Amino acid sequence: MRLQQVYAGGRFGLSFEIFPPKTPEGDAALRTTLNELAVWNPAFISCTYGAGGSTSRQTLDWCQYIQDQHQVPATAHFTCVGSSRNELIQWLQAASDSGVRNIMALRGDAPHGETKFQVAPDGLAHASQLVTLIREQFPDMGIGVAGYPEKHPESCDLGSDLQHQVQKVAAGADALFTQLFFENRHFFQFRNRLHELGVTVPIVPGIMPITEYARIVRISSMCGSDIPLRLAVRLEEVQHDKVAQFEIGVQFAIEQCRVLLEEGIPGIHFYALNKSPECSRILQELELPQTSDWGILPRPLGTR
């Protein structure tokens, strides 16, 4: 199913994001996680593309696994890092040959050890150019792009960053998936401003349940997301108690999702981090149907 169809006619799209593990133990654990996530009948599961193209083949292998093993549509993330235009086309062809029908089109970041994104020789500088390339060469591919409610870390101001989000949509993206955020007001402001700028494609919030105090600093420095003091303080108080941290992080995400659902969102994209307990618990408490067709769900979802 193409991304455009996922949200068509008010359909609600649940999705999970995973990444290719680096060890055989990680592979085995991810297979178990996928068994547990698939029961939620997601509209798709996406698999990230490693920094600098480090997981180029694994991304496609996991997408194929998800589709073959679970009959769940997969979305392959893909970046411009280190590839010429021809190499980008070759990978996209391989994705298409693997049965992938949706691409998360990204610019990507500098590979480990480098500080700044460099355009590859004969390569692309921005995600919008990758969207254009995909639309030209693979017109039937569904295309998702990244959005930043708290602006992309490299951007000087939200206004110009928003214009760049609009460019990606104008180039042919079917849906926009946000960077993780913890304060819903950032998402609502971002969505309003994009609507004012004429964006009509689904804007899907990206949610990451944060169930470890130690992860707070890493997340905040990685993507610049504003971490609410009330969450940080509560996690810090129980930083030696894993169960309590899990409970606090999950309850925070449940509340966050409830408010988002009440305000109307086309779907939720969970940054699952190759784990299922957090997402499963959140979905159970939101009382969303587990295996039925997602179809058009009554609103407000969170209060059902």
Active site members: 17
Torsion of CA 46, 49, 55, 58, to 10 degrees: 20
Using the rule CB under 6 A, is 174 a contact of ligand FAD? no
Using the rule CB under 6 A, is 77 a contact of ligand FAD? yes
Shortest distance in whole angstroms from residue 237 CB to ligand FAD: 30
Using the rule CB under 6 A, is 209 a contact of ligand FAD? no
Contact stretch for ligand FAD (CB under 6 A) within 35-43, 150-158, 243-251, 273-281: 150-158
b/e string for 90-122 if b means 16 or more Cβ within 10 A? Answer: ebbeebbebebbbbbbbbbbeeeeeeebeebee
Using the rule CB under 6 A, is 122 a contact of ligand FAD? no
Using the rule CB under 6 A, is 186 a contact of ligand FAD? no
Residue 120 in contact with residue 147, Cβ under 8 Å? no
Using the rule CB under 6 A, is 61 a contact of ligand FAD? no
Our CB check for ligand FAD shows the closer of 13 and 108 to be 108
Using the rule CB under 6 A, is 48 a contact of ligand FAD? yes
Using the rule CB under 6 A, is 102 a contact of ligand FAD? no
Dihedral-angle region of residue 217 (phi above 0 means left; psi in -120 to 50 means alpha; beta otherwise): alpha
Shortest distance in whole angstroms from residue 44 CB to ligand FAD: 13
Residue position matching structure tokens 């993206």: 173
Shortest distance in whole angstroms from residue 61 CB to ligand FAD: 15
Contact stretch for ligand FAD (CB under 6 A) within 153-161, 187-195, 226-234, 287-295: 153-161
Task: Evaluate the omega torsion of the peptide bond into residue 300 and state whether it is cis, within 30 degrees of 0.
Answer: yes
For the chain, the maximum distance between any two Cα atoms, rounded to a whole number of angstroms, is 53
Our CB check for ligand FAD shows the closer of 177 and 187 to be 177
- Helix (H/G/I), strand (E/B), else coil: 84: coil
